[in-house]
Structure 1
């Protein structure tokens, strides 16, 4: 290929198995180059991500193909549809390292920005590993850096067992732990939704991520989306004697025999903060993972760098920083 190669951009209205496999190949090549040590998604996970419904959003996808028919880049644009976030779009863009700096990324970005204008989206957000070519690409095209995320790993075989017992044995008068897999039990659904709304005060830097209002139907819908992808969602909650849910923590166990799981939300409702509930919940989740998923060896989480309280909780439990990502935002001009 020349330095200014020709690329065809193919919108993927209905993603085939072959197209999903091509997408997976590009993503794996990109991640191996930019994120060594981070396990790439499996072919099944990519296929599910491209074909299964999402919550309060829809997705536009493009595949960039070179003159020789080689698939060189992919872009997925998530368009949020719920009130409070319907001005937002989120972009995932990958170019195979062997085909970079020849215009494929620029073509894919131009298609995404044009779609944002058509869909009346004023904010486009994208995540890039710190120090990566993706970060330089964002800065080149006038994205603003709005948030830095610390990614942390907890190695299950390096846990401080004494600290874990100390946290687990601590008394929390007036509170009890309860847990479930998948959909929240009906008798806890309203309380869980109320606790979910506590996430709205989470530090997000200058990121314009809108707001989400949770109710019982929405928490059930989220669980269905995750189950339809083939993943499992484990939840532990601290419930107060008055029936209110004081806090919760969630772990996503990916489809297949994954040794690394992802921390989803951990939140403590403002009225119940200061009692050590966040640390208690996360320590209890470690115990649950050991009992129910003994093949898990690592838990990955991320926190905004200014979320000093949750970073302190994670580090006390034994999480250690291992990489950073940046959130970038483009203010999309109207047509």
Structure 2
């Protein structure tokens, strides 16, 4: 990996190879990781070192990830994670132009040229891999300011909402689960807790993908989102290793998916659940079915894991219907976020303009 110099201090960029990292390299990485996460996400638990190493060593079947470490005077002060569609994976041609970016710089090291050095690493990566668009999510004021400074465009605003279980009106949820439309004999529940059988998942990939792409996505320039069967065996194997469950609640009209809600629980963080997609097919909207599947999901989680105290989910600011349902449930905004994009040429121009 080439070395770059920032305006104020020389910065060396190194790629972290999880399969070959030495104990000393891991020790340095974890010290940085714990410190940065404590600064940027102070309310959230930090994954133990050995678990973080297990995660980093796993090879995703669909996405490839590289991590650029910024070192100054031998100390790790920043990181940039680059994730992109693995070449040759099904549908990879749609994502050839894109790279997802995440990372950050330690609080006391900001505004000292380290972010710029990492951007040079990103530019070098985009040139090497012929990537045209970099996408990044930020939630801190410093992150928003940095995106504005480099000329990245804000393409989507969204929030992470959290709900405390001790604030839920569970009697009200009982009523949500039984809207009048469910009196129709056409509709039936399908509930999966723990794992969804692969034979069940396979025919769900197309309808779930369609529902996923109907959510508001602002002005993002991106390939269509996909549910992909190839990602599930590795995810379930990881759950088997560290403990976890996948929940899926559906309403069906025969084989048609009418409404769906899915969530996951991680034994490493037993007091919380991550809720992902909640969606209703267009012909069935306006009948309270999003409320029904969401309520059924929450009741299922509570039944199986009474230790859960909180559920978190993400919503686009433009998704008024789901935001309304979440407010009625008692969700509140935990953090405001935005997704930015910058093109390779614009990034190169910014870096050239800084000398």
TM-score (norm 1): 0.88
- In the TM superposition, 1:1-335 aligns within 5 A as 4-15=8-19, 16=21, 18=23, 19-67=25-73, 69-81=74-86, 82-130=92-140, 132-171=141-180, 172=182, 173=184, 174-181=186-193, 183-197=195-209, 198-214=211-227, 218-225=228-235, 227-228=237-238, 230=242, 232-333=244-345
The answer to whether the 8 A contact 1:87-1:120 is kept is: yes
How far, CA to CA, are the matches of 2:117 and 2:246 in structure 1? Answer: 40
Query: Could you tell me how far 1:115 is from its partner in structure 2?
Result: 0.4
Please give the per-residue CA displacement for 1:249-273, whole angstroms capped at 9, x wherever unaligned.
1212234143222122222222332
Please give the per-residue CA displacement for 1:126-168, whole angstroms capped at 9, x wherever unaligned.
11115x2122111111111111111111100110223212112
How far, CA to CA, are the matches of 2:251 and 2:22 in structure 1? Answer: 44
Larger Rg belongs to: 2
The answer to whether the 8 A contact 1:236-1:281 is kept is: no
How far, CA to CA, are the matches of 2:151 and 2:17 in structure 1? Answer: 29
Give the gaps of 5 or more residues in structure 2.
Answer: 1-5, 87-91, 349-355
The answer to whether the 8 A contact 1:236-1:248 is kept is: yes
TM-score (norm 2): 0.84
Give the gaps of 5 or more residues in structure 1.
Answer: none
Query: Could you tell me how far 1:209 is from its partner in structure 2?
Result: 2.6
Query: Could you tell me how far 1:304 is from its partner in structure 2?
Result: 0.6
Please give the per-residue CA displacement for 1:180-219, whole angstroms capped at 9, x wherever unaligned.
24653244224421331211121111112311344xxx23
SS of alignment partner, residue 277 of structure 2? strand
SS of alignment partner, residue 94 of structure 2? coil
SS of alignment partner, residue 148 of structure 1? strand
Query: Could you tell me how far 1:226 is from its partner in structure 2?
Result: 5.3
State the Cα RMSD in Å: 2.5
The answer to whether the 8 A contact 1:125-1:327 is kept is: yes
How far, CA to CA, are the matches of 2:108 and 2:277 in structure 1? Answer: 36
Q: Does the C-alpha gap of structure 1 residues 128 and 231 become closer, same or farther in structure 2, counting only changes over 3 Å?
A: farther
